[in-house]
Structure 1
């Protein structure tokens, strides 16, 4: 384990220019990139142009660098590189899984009432094309009372083929008990075949400490541009070994296949590359790998998570003490998302007012509230300053 005292937060923050002229609470939307990522991206572009962007030298270099990025991502998820498909974002990863399942008319998809609109739209179109049934279970109501696993179990039927959920809910900040839910789905005895679980991990990768093989989750779609503070346009999909055997590719390209000596398609790749398509912005891969390395300079995933929880609890505790301000969660956060609203105040107007004063937060539509994202990079003084401004608004 890396000693988090090796480099101070103040020293770490000096590597993130986006933190130096604003008070940033929007990591759940997009993280601020470190200088090391920006430099890595620029240097990669320069090298590729100098050596010839489609030369043998550059193509060999790209293969090596992509492998290093895949390994860095796998290390963060406590898995192996062969289980990782590189994508552009969470939605692309979810689409790979959703369109790759061999759907049959009458199959059912169960999702929670806290999912992102991009995933909902995909599921609705799949249901239309393949004559599927879509069920929605009320997870939002379990934020402060109730057991989300039991709610999901109540909605499982013999026709349920896939359960779609978020590990860390993007609207309320609730952390779902993933391993417990996966076990309940996999062990559901009335189903004709094992119920699989697809996770929207937009908020959990780079935020929660993860061991995906231990969780036994089937599909875990994530991005590098939020809590990992990498560039937009690089994400991934973890596919378990069991799920990989049954998932079919939908978009297909030269990265998906092995060829014979005459360059003709011969077989699918036998690892995560099977679901990759063609040319990507490879310099951005360098940017994500550099960001991951910079985080690990400060501490491993557990140390970073503990710091996030400490700071989010500090914010939540102060917000709880403000009359007229309501936190959605009535107990300390389990991660870095703190959602709240001010009575008799329009949340959009509050967020615009905060941004004019240098505080970056955002509003959410359902439930209508304000979300603050607390990173391990956040300072207690920044939290104090935000609370002072919110008190004045109230």
Structure 2
């Protein structure tokens, strides 16, 4: 991997050190240019002009194919969404819930998992079991906690594949087996995985999986993707729909007119997405694929290990992320004794022009290390933390 050559293709890296990809990643030049070119084309020629419209539809289809490749899914099981949260809500709002049904999740989750789960509880009388997971728990310990929480009323295990708060890589494939052995299903929030770790939703047997395009895949806000296992598509009812999901179009007053096709992912489309944003996503995905997701995953874990090893030498620092590579990813969360996370984040930016972020629960500073970050940048961040500790 020629890191410097890749860095040259990401404009922001010429100006500062960017370590906040887990929030939103820096787009490569080809993604920015693709979006700009599409905006100009539609402004100068019109979005529905013959030739322009057709090229836009092809971009949308290519975005769907790119999303399917990132997921390790088939195209007909993949839907282009606006973001991770939209995909998760499509599934949760489309399942048949009954009073007493249970969702099992954990304390390290993002609001995109917890808020929709509690909404289902409040609306239908379902129960949400929030398990207490320590980011230093072993995979076996985590699996054991979920096994112990399962009951005959458990409908869904709903967790992040990589926890945004600590970078803990959950034993997702094993949790999938726990769910299926209980007659339950599993949904993964993949906000921190798409373009970060190599995914194969078929191999691992996942039921539902949602990813963004703007984080590790380096696209822009406004594009994401949802996978639903083919056998389950008909079980998820669309909370909103549109013309692309119908089986036939007839007279407006006929009962069989505009009947939704229950077996296609298009039934969840409430309208058209942004072609310029999807054009950028296509190019960002090409950039990621040119590097290689397995290679990206290995480098990110290596950078994280380097950073954690240096943090471990600072007595005032508490590392909240797992220390072993098998449970790690490119996210590293830590706290500095006696200092608020907000203050540390602000000082690191002011003194070193390094972009990191704060996490509110557990309160910490989080660095997102992607393949384009250098070992020298990691060392500089570690030194900056040491100076503040």
Normalising by the residue count of structure 2, what TM-score does the alignment of the two structures yield?
Answer: 0.94
2:189 corresponds, among 187, 200, 205, to 200
Q: What does 1:322-337 align with in structure 2 at a 5 Å threshold?
A: 322-329=314-321, 331-333=323-325, 334-337=328-331
Task: Establish whether residue 361 from structure 1 lines up as the match of residue 356 from structure 2.
Answer: yes
- Aligned twin of 2:302: 310
- Aligned twin of 1:46: 40
- Structure 2 CA distance for partners of 1:270 and 1:64, relative to 1, 3 Å: farther
Distance in structure 2 (CA, Å) of the matches to 1:320 and 1:146: 25
Task: Establish whether residue 109 from structure 1 lines up as the match of residue 124 from structure 2.
Answer: no
Does the CA contact (< 8 Å) of 2:139 and 2:171 recur in 1? no
Q: What does 1:125-136 align with in structure 2 at a 5 Å threshold?
A: 125-136=119-130
- Structure 2 CA distance for partners of 1:315 and 1:205, relative to 1, 3 Å: same
List per-residue Cα deviations over 1:349-387 (Å, max 9, x = no partner): 111111112011111111111111110111011111111
Which sits farther off after the overlay, 313-322 or 26-35?
313-322
- Aligned twin of 1:191: none
Q: What does 1:1-394 align with in structure 2 at a 5 Å threshold?
A: 4=1, 8-140=2-134, 143=137, 147-188=141-182, 194-260=183-249, 264-268=257-261, 270-297=263-290, 299-329=291-321, 331-333=323-325, 334-357=328-351, 358-394=353-389
CA RMSD of aligned residues (A): 1.7
Distance in structure 1 (CA, Å) of the matches to 2:308 and 2:382: 10
- Secondary structure at 2:382 match in 1: helix
Distance in structure 2 (CA, Å) of the matches to 1:329 and 1:54: 49
Distance in structure 2 (CA, Å) of the matches to 1:64 and 1:276: 17
**C-alpha displacement at 1:56, in angstroms?**
4.0
The count of aligned residue pairs is 382
- Secondary structure at 2:103 match in 1: strand
Distance in structure 1 (CA, Å) of the matches to 2:313 and 2:138: 18
Distance in structure 2 (CA, Å) of the matches to 1:184 and 1:362: 34
**C-alpha displacement at 1:315, in angstroms?**
0.9
Distance in structure 1 (CA, Å) of the matches to 2:247 and 2:139: 51
Structure 1 moving runs of 4+ over 4 Å: 261-264
Ranges in structure 2 where 5+ consecutive residues have no aligned partner: none
List per-residue Cα deviations over 1:143-197 (Å, max 9, x = no partner): 4686211111111111111111010011111111111110111011xxxxx3111
Distance in structure 2 (CA, Å) of the matches to 1:15 and 1:143: 39
Ranges in structure 1 where 5+ consecutive residues have no aligned partner: 189-193
Does the CA contact (< 8 Å) of 2:139 and 2:170 recur in 1? no
List per-residue Cα deviations over 1:104-127 (Å, max 9, x = no partner): 222111111111123322222221
**C-alpha displacement at 1:272, in angstroms?**
2.2
